[in-house]
Chain A
């Protein structure tokens, strides 16, 4: 058990280091350097060469790439993502509150999505092939086929324009308390929620259908155990364990969904900073946001692996 756990800690660390290197390479090594990327060719032509050289020296861009990679890795370890190229604001100061706000949004979504998806997934599997299953399955396909920004926009049309019960955009400011922020953004939460439930319910239904078809369930039925006990105490744990990994991977899709929804509703989160960072080509901001969300997904994957280790003794032998 301990060795298997340590092995997973090590694997997660290796993945994180590789991700950091990858993020560095994708943004900084390929064409030119960070300065070429953040300034347009016209702007560069306007700057006298000696000043350009001085700017590069200040930013440490005159050093060879491997050396910069090492200092980037060192910075990441101490949570220092550098400063923005133009205004020299520390990146940590830019993404601090937005990161918190995005996590609040994600947390609220998951808190609602998991019980709802469990209910729908279990119901669809227990009454497999019946009306409720067909409605849930068809609804799930429709749910994840519609882009989040369309769901959000339609919700705004219904609940903010036609029947104005909620505000169309969020008026809360970046450093408001968590509850103030959530109270101001019910439509944003619902938008992300719809896609999440569609995805998770479908996943759980597949797991439950597989579990309910296993021999041990048939044996339990023959011993006369009530069906609800079989479903909740025996089949459900067997269904959840294999879907945990897929659920952790869902975190990556959740981040993508949240980025889009934040822009629909002007929610003060990482998505706003990301789009601003990409359009202004602030390399360090984009790097930091990519790294944060990648670290989040790796951490969730690690937790899922640990949960599987704890719940399923068969995996401990590896």
Chain B
């Protein structure tokens, strides 16, 4: 473990990424207590320039922009992390089960994965939002499902390698159930992979959720959210460009941080994260 940290320090970009993510998480966590104003309250004239009272001015409705910026990541981060968790756990178990059972189960799962990979993520979310209505729960579940498919692929491939190991054979000879073998013998061996997958899928989900909010299909107003803030800031891009730049910087630095950190940590764990195969 100390060796792991010593190697980590030698990778400046990884460290930079970890610090960025840490800062973002910290701000998102303590934001409700440190915002100078109520983010939903109309305080002053709209589109005020930055002053001592309002550090980043007011937005198009006269709400304190700095307070909204501090809170703007919360919902997306929670939604993306939930989706990443669903994807990593569900995908890991399904991938292992599919590797273990082969046969019909494997065929069905593989076809489903292939099918999903043919529908662009934004369209899949659009379909579900049209069918089930626009809610955060629908969004999280759909994203979890979307990113689960990629995780199934990687953990199935790793499961096939693990199946060849002596301890799986030993467990089979002991007469343990397939469920117990998958959970106790195989799952612990892909925890590294699942951690990396969780981080990768969370960063993809963040990009997707902010894009959806930007399109008006994700987080609904008046909740402060970076994607929404960029969208409404576009109208005053000529006179108040910081209303667009500040949330752009926030969402970009968060995703860049996650990806730098994941890339480095995956390299240290000996996993091939160079796939970047998550797509957007």
> Footprint of B on A, CB under 8 Å?
14-15, 18-19, 22-23, 26-28, 30-31, 37, 138, 140-142, 144-150, 153-154, 156-157, 161, 168, 195, 199, 202-203, 206, 246, 249-250, 252-253, 255-257, 259-260, 263-264, 274-275, 277-279, 281, 283, 286-287, 289-290, 293-294, 297-298, 301
24 contacts between A and B (CB under 8 A): A15-B114, A37-B131, A138-B13, A141-B276, A144-B259, A144-B276, A144-B280, A145-B255, A145-B259, A147-B255, A148-B280, A153-B244, A252-B117, A256-B123, A259-B123, A263-B214, A274-B126, A277-B126, A277-B130, A279-B216, A290-B126, A294-B118, A294-B119, A297-B117
Q: How many interface contacts (CB-CB < 8 Å) are there between A and B?
A: 170
In the complex, are the beta carbons of A22 and B115 less than 8 A apart?
yes
Max chain A Cβ within 10 angstroms of own Cβ: one of B122, B231, B241, B258: B122
In the complex, are the beta carbons of A252 and B211 less than 8 A apart?
no
A-chain residues with CB within 8 Å of residue B277 when the two chains form the complex = 246, 249
Checking B216, B275, B279 against A250 with a beta-carbon cut-off of 8 angstroms, the contacting residue is B279
B-chain residues with CB within 8 Å of residue A27 when the two chains form the complex = 127, 130-131
Interface presence of B234 (CB below 8 A): yes
Proximity bits, B234-247, A CB within 8 Å = 1, else 0: 10011001001100
In the complex, are the beta carbons of A293 and B131 less than 8 A apart?
no
> Footprint of A on B, CB under 8 Å?
13, 111, 114-115, 117-124, 126-133, 203, 207-208, 210-211, 214-217, 227, 230-231, 234, 237-238, 241, 244-245, 248, 251-252, 255-256, 258-260, 263, 274-277, 279-280
A-chain residues with CB within 8 Å of residue B121 when the two chains form the complex = 252-253, 256
In the complex, are the beta carbons of B251 and A252 less than 8 A apart?
no
Q: Whole-angstrom distance between the alpha carbons of A255 and B279 in the complex?
A: 11
A-chain residues with CB within 8 Å of residue B133 when the two chains form the complex = 31
Q: Is the interface of A mostly helix, strand, loop or mixed?
A: helix
Q: Whole-angstrom distance between the alpha carbons of A310 and B70 in the complex?
A: 55
Nearest B residue to A281 via CB reads B130
Contacts A286-B126, A297-B119: A195 and B131 contacting too (C-beta < 8 A)? no
In the complex, are the beta carbons of B130 and A286 less than 8 A apart?
yes
In the complex, are the beta carbons of B120 and A255 less than 8 A apart?
yes
Contacts A147-B210, A249-B279: A161 and B237 contacting too (C-beta < 8 A)? yes
In the complex, are the beta carbons of B111 and A15 less than 8 A apart?
yes
Checking A153, A203, A301 against B248 with a beta-carbon cut-off of 8 angstroms, the contacting residue is A153
Q: Whole-angstrom distance between the alpha carbons of A67 and B118 in the complex?
A: 26
B-chain residues with CB within 8 Å of residue A153 when the two chains form the complex = 230, 234, 237, 244, 248
Max chain A Cβ within 10 angstroms of own Cβ: one of B114, B115, B123, B276: B123
Nearest B residue to A301 via CB reads B118
Chain A nearest CB: distance from B277 CB in Å? 6
A-chain residues with CB within 8 Å of residue B128 when the two chains form the complex = 26
Contacts A145-B203, A156-B237: A252 and B130 contacting too (C-beta < 8 A)? no
